[in-house]
Amino acid sequence: MSDQQVYTDFKDDMTYADYLSLDQLLSAQNRLSGHHDEMLFIVIHQVSELWMKLIIHEIQAACKSLINDQFEPAFKQLARVSKIQEQIIKAWDVLATMTPSEYIEFRDSLGKASGFQSYQYRLIEFSLGYKIPHILKIYQQDQEVYSVLEKAYQNKGLYDIAIDKLSQAGFSISEGLLNRDFSKPYEKSEEVKAAWSEVYKDSQKYWTLYQLAEKLVDLEDWHQQWRFRHMKTVERIIGFKKGTGGSSGVNYLKSVLDTYFFPELWELRTEL
């Protein structure tokens, strides 16, 4: 396209900035302290929230695809989630350029606000089956957010749907597991591990389920790297201080590193 063909008159047409609501987006970085590095802190967290919005969008789509036995679209959606997770991990590298001396200059401006309160992060955890009852209390003041979270809290997660697929493929999964209380954290099952083990032992026969299992492992692998990078960034900047939201900070972040969404898929690797 030559320069003469580039559109320049947008009096009656939508522009790039209009489409992306850039006026609203780029005016949302409101520093409370005026400190230079607070801009970095805000932007990194806003970017992460945008990526999380897309993660939720893709996981929800993948769940619907699996329910409808549309495995290939689900694989594409889950693969995209893993790529997004990679981007969020890289964001911690940028935030880690901020030193403790710089952060303490504006940390008090945050008050009790904390990334621990991110409802989108909780929605991701709920969709993957990690459900802790007291977490919901944080969001009771916002009924709209609370309703969204409570629905996800009560519903099947991605792994529950994957287990349904094992049952539908003929593997022996008890009714008690298939119709369990989905508001409770998933607990590993020997029958589920036995089913996945057969899938891995005869991957050609169960190729679709084998691919699904590997997509789930990819997703959890990246999520654990995300958790680890978050923990090390926090330790690098504030050490073992309590978080602004009242959490134990690094100690809490370390404790969840040992939490698995899909435990059987990791355990069977030792036994194959």
| 173 annotated ligand-binding residue | no
- Identify the CA nearest to 66 among candidates 230, 249, 213: 213
Question: Whole-prediction pTM value?
Answer: 0.92
pLDDT for 3: 65
157/119 Cα distance (integer angstroms): 16
Dihedral angle at the C-alpha atoms of 18, 21, 22, 26, nearest 10 degrees?
160
- Mean pLDDT, consecutive 10-residue stretches, the chain (272 aa), reads 69 90 96 95 97 98 98 98 96 95 93 89 93 85 93 96 98 96 93 98 98 98 95 91 79 88 96 90
| 244 annotated ligand-binding residue | yes
pLDDT for 2: 56
Q: Are 222 and 85 in contact (CB under 8 A)?
A: yes
216/66 Cα distance (integer angstroms): 13
Domains of the chain: 37-98+114-270 (1.20.58.480)
41/203 Cα distance (integer angstroms): 45
Q: Are 52 and 39 in contact (CB under 8 A)?
A: no
The tokens 């939490």 sit on which residue?
Answer: 259
pLDDT for 256: 87
Q: Are 123 and 148 in contact (CB under 8 A)?
A: yes
| 45 annotated ligand-binding residue | yes
CA-atom Rg of the chain in angstroms: 22
pLDDT for 7: 76
| 35 annotated ligand-binding residue | no
pLDDT for 11: 81
| 138 annotated ligand-binding residue | no
* HSE, side-chain direction, 13 A CA sphere, residue 164: 14
| 43 annotated ligand-binding residue | yes
